[in-house]
Amino acid sequence: MKYITKYRSPNYNSRNNSKIKLIIIHYTALKDYKYAISYLCSKEKKVSAHYLISQDGLVYALVEDKFRAWHAGQAYWQGITDINSISIGIELDYNPYGKNNRFTYKMLSSLKILLLKIKKKYKINKNNILAHSDVAPFRKKDPGEHFPWTSLSSSKLILNFKKIKKNEIIVLEKWFKNYKIKSKKNIIIISLSLLGYDTRQIHKNIKLYNKLIRAYRIRYINKIDYAKKNIIYETVLKHLFKKLLTKN
């Protein structure tokens, strides 16, 4: 895959020896890739990403991997809050309200090739290819509810736990029971926390709880299943079960 390196962003600094562990997927919410390039390369905007993929599937490398690009903002994953230092940021030229409101076939093919390349190079875990809304669920929605995560799981880039059966999660339920954690809500919160999500404030704050659940739901549960009883509970447990069984 060829990168276009004609445009470089001045918005980066040192990773301070932090290892690259995560990949964060964003959408630009801007009108087109040209505007996105000038935005992400403008010193005044103080934002950037390592890569930008256009609707035509062209990949612009704006910041070198070895540097810390500024894409995640205030964020959290697995106890770490400086997400920019440990991640690669990929922006997609997509705006839900613009003409570029499709995740095109070309864009997605380039994204998959890029993900595979970065994943291999830095030995990134399948559970660590994330949405901006995973690491900043209280502020961010991108890459949004139309992003085709199932296409990434079919390509084995991210965890696929669709095949896990209900009876397999009994082990986990027993484990929670042993620790006297009984309510489904508490089991959901602890599981989300073990998966990496920021659950520090959601015990006491129902608004934040709902925001996190929404971020999780739009990524992992299809619209037909939304209304099913206990769907969040079951999905989160299957997810955790799969994560515990998966090395990489």
Residues designated catalytic: 91
SS3 content of the chain, % helix, strand, coil (to 5): 40, 10, 45
Closest CA to 2 of 118, 115, 110: 110
Closest CA to 37 of 70, 73, 2, 6: 6
Please give the residues from 22 up to 51 whose contact with Zn ion meets the rule CB under 5 A.
26
Q: Which of 134, 142, 198, 234 binds Zn ion (CB under 5 A)?
A: 142
Residue 21 within binding range of Zn ion, rule CB under 5 A: no
Residue 93 within binding range of Zn ion, rule CB under 5 A: no
Of 21-29, 41-49, 158-166, 187-195, which part binds Zn ion (CB under 5 A)? Answer: 21-29
Binding string, residues 96-135; x marks residues near Zn ion by CB under 5 A: ------------------------------------x---
Tell me how far apart the alpha carbons of residues 85 and 19 are, in angstroms, rounded to a whole number. Answer: 8
Q: How many residues of this chain interact with Zn ion, rule: CB under 5 A?
A: 3
In the block, tokens 């839900």 appear at 96
Residue 219 within binding range of Zn ion, rule CB under 5 A: no
Nearer of residues 189 and 215 to Zn ion, judged by Cβ? 215
Q: HSE on the CB side for 147, CA within 13 Å?
A: 27
Nearer of residues 133 and 235 to Zn ion, judged by Cβ? 133
Distance linking the first and last C-alpha atoms of the chain: 24
Q: Which residues bind Zn ion (CB under 5 A)?
A: 26, 132, 142
